[in-house]
Amino acid sequence: TGLAAAWQLTREQAVHAYNANNLIRFHVIANSNSPADQATKYRVRDSVVSAMSGKFDQVDNIQQARKITRENLDYIQQLAVQEVRAGGKDYPVTIKTGRYMFPARTYQNNFYDFTLSAGEYEAVRVVLGRGVGANWWCVLFPPLCFVDPAGVVPAKKTNTNDSPAAVPAFRLGAPRAVTALGSLKRNEQSPGPAWIMAAPEGEPPVEFRFRILDYFRWTRD
């Protein structure tokens, strides 16, 4: 049926796109938790996400994405500095790239729930000033950063310096397929139909729950 075909296409896209090795995350850490510094963090977020969102449109592998990211680090810093100055602040902006620890987070799509497990991920990190305030993050590549609070699902509580007001504004869009480096296996311990992307040793797994299967299961019970 058309519904089943749509699920199959979405499942295949998800399997290909969201291998942990194919992700570059984007992380902004505020100078402090003062209202002014948190507002500056969100302005930096909006500016960088808006400027970078189209740069990966024709990119279909992590190597190209890394090259584009490296080429735009100075640009990202310039954007961040502009927003800091526009907010009347003069603290420095530091841009870092590397592998950083992130807590688990689950996001919601019409077809599936998307969970990034806690673990180390490749990321571009923007540190504003002292960098001791609540932070915000999303996925820079594949380009899934949307300045829109729709679709956020709280994950199990983890130790993080995110305040409730700093929950990532993130909406999961339809993913573009990129070459997957892992394989998908059934998660038998999940409360519903779910698969976990197999990852190399030491890499965080990515879990998907496909809503259409939950629906079929519910209508059958």
pLDDT above 90 covers a percentage of the chain that reads 37
Q: Report d(CA 154, CA 107) in Å as an integer.
A: 8
pLDDT digits (tens, 9 = 90+) for 183-199: 333 333 434 333 333 34
Report the alpha-carbon distance of residue 194 to residue 54 in Å, rounded. Answer: 31
Residues 2-11 pLDDT 10s: 544 444 444 5
Angstrom distance (rounded) from CA 213 to CA 4: 9
User: Tens digits of per-residue pLDDT, 114-149?
Assistant: 677 888 999 999 999 999 999 988 888 887 675 433
SS3 content of the chain, % helix, strand, coil (to 5): 35, 25, 40
Q: Where are the domains of the chain?
A: 2-220
Task: Tell me the pTM.
Answer: 0.63
